[in-house]
Amino acid sequence: MGIGLAILILGMLLTNGAFLALAVPPILFSCFSAIQSMQLRLPVLNIERTVNRHRMIEGEEVKVTVDVSSTFGTTGRYFISVIDTLPGGAQLVDGENQFLGPFVQGQSAQFSYRVVLPRGKHVFKEFVVTGWSRWGLASRMESVAHESIVIAHPKTDPVGAITIRPRRTRAFAGPVKANQGGQGLDFFGCRSYVPGDDIRRVNWRAYARQDTLIVNEYELERLADVNVIVDARLQAHCRLGAETTFDHSLRAAGSLASHFLRVGNIVGLLVYGDLVHWVFPGVGKRQERKILDALATSYAADKEVFEDLRKVPTRLFPAQSQLVFISPLTDEDDVEVIALLIDQGYSILLVCPHATTWEAEQIGPTPSAQLATRMANLRRSLFLDSLVRTGTRIVNWDVSEPLALAIERDLGVSFFRRHV
């Protein structure tokens, strides 16, 4: 309309009929469009989205089916488009996420598609419905809100048996050696018989040698508190193409939390970075889902308050319990904080993800790259060696290899067989 009016005014100023004729097409087009826009009414649509699952593992496909129907409304025939807007990061792999075609009252239509979703909480928010007038000069677009949520958990891999030895355990039977004599499977020691002891536990050979009743003791197996702490400080992680070491850390956290829950421990989660995201400790499948949900929505952040590990809220963790720390360790301060936690009585299993191999491959086999790789490895070795001396158990994990392999290598398979 603006174009037409401008040409019309120009024609009137110049008193030239040709300009007036030139103004006719845009003005007519605008007028007809305006009239048709006023008359255009979209049909009342019922749109339903069905998602075949609401929880999945990152990188897996989810099938979405959309049903479009119109039970009442205007009786006209429309050409409509219904677009199901995809959440950010979703990749359409199969099918169509748009219906496009003529639509009349009472008609129904269905379309379905498959998307691959990355880790995170994905919200399918709305449908965008567009209808066109019969002569195509006017269109109307509306958004129809319909929310479906799909949570893509980080990919977890089964890890081998991991032995943990926290100083304090719970009173209930569980999988962790409590370092106390009592009922169990593994031999712990001998002591003098006291009335009430089970006669089957009497060590008859010791009795024969010493002429006093001696009973065998077995190591108690108890439930333990395990808290997984994920370092989500942006400065601690590096980018590996489309991913970061933080993504690998979350996968490791998911794998370890699932493992400890499966063997029967009480497991909690703390993501330390932006805010303190804490999942209260618990047991069972439900707790596993809670932890994986929290990991799915976690992100690395750069907050001045949490720039070092000193602010880790140890009050959340039971005294002398087991902590599983997943951190790439940025500097000596981080090493010191972990040593302090050991001093406070916590047992610590440190998983230290790094991407030195990946970075070296990206740079290429130049002498300077080889030197840089060597320096990075030496620096990390220094940190880790100083922690080993404090009693920290360490998994030095190159993210290009499976976590299970790193655990088996660094924690020792013979150790597992002896204690698990």
Partner 1 sequence: MKWILAILLATAALLLMLPALLIGSVLYVLAVPIFTAAAFFVMHKWPHSKSSNVSLIVLALLSVAALFIGIHPLFPVISLMLAIYAWNAAHRFGHLDHARVEEEAKRQFVIHVLTFSFLPSLAIGLFLIAFLYVRVSLPFGLALGLSIAALLSVALFMGVVRIARNRED
Residues of this chain that bind partner 1 (CB under 8 A): 3, 7, 10, 16-19, 21-22, 24-26, 28-29, 79, 81, 83-84, 86, 92, 95-102, 113, 128, 130, 132, 134-137, 139
Nearest Cα neighbor of 352 from 233, 266, 236 is: 236
Judged by beta carbon, residue 99 or residue 317, the one nearer partner 1 is: 99
Q: Measured from the CB of residue 270, what is the shortest distance to partner 1 in angstroms?
A: 40
Judged by beta carbon, residue 49 or residue 168, the one nearer partner 1 is: 49
The DSSP secondary structure of 242-282, one letter per residue, reads: TEEHHHHHHHHHHHHHHHHHHTT-EEEEEEESSSEEEEEEE
DSSP-assigned beta bridge partners for residue 118: none
Q: Measured from the CB of residue 139, what is the shortest distance to partner 1 in angstroms?
A: 7
Judged by beta carbon, residue 3 or residue 190, the one nearer partner 1 is: 3
| C-alpha of 38 from chain center | 48
Cα 352 from Cα 83, distance rounded (Å) = 45
Judged by beta carbon, residue 81 or residue 390, the one nearer partner 1 is: 81
Judged by beta carbon, residue 19 or residue 299, the one nearer partner 1 is: 19
Judged by beta carbon, residue 83 or residue 387, the one nearer partner 1 is: 83
Q: Measured from the CB of residue 70, what is the shortest distance to partner 1 in angstroms?
A: 17
Q: Measured from the CB of residue 12, what is the shortest distance to partner 1 in angstroms?
A: 14
Q: Measured from the CB of residue 118, what is the shortest distance to partner 1 in angstroms?
A: 19
Helices (H) then strands (E): counts for the chain: 10, 19
Q: Measured from the CB of residue 1, what is the shortest distance to partner 1 in angstroms?
A: 11
**Three-class secondary structure of residue 92 per DSSP:** strand
Residues listed for the chain:
420
Nearest Cα neighbor of 164 from 302, 89, 295, 266 is: 266
Nearest Cα neighbor of 236 from 306, 170, 172 is: 306
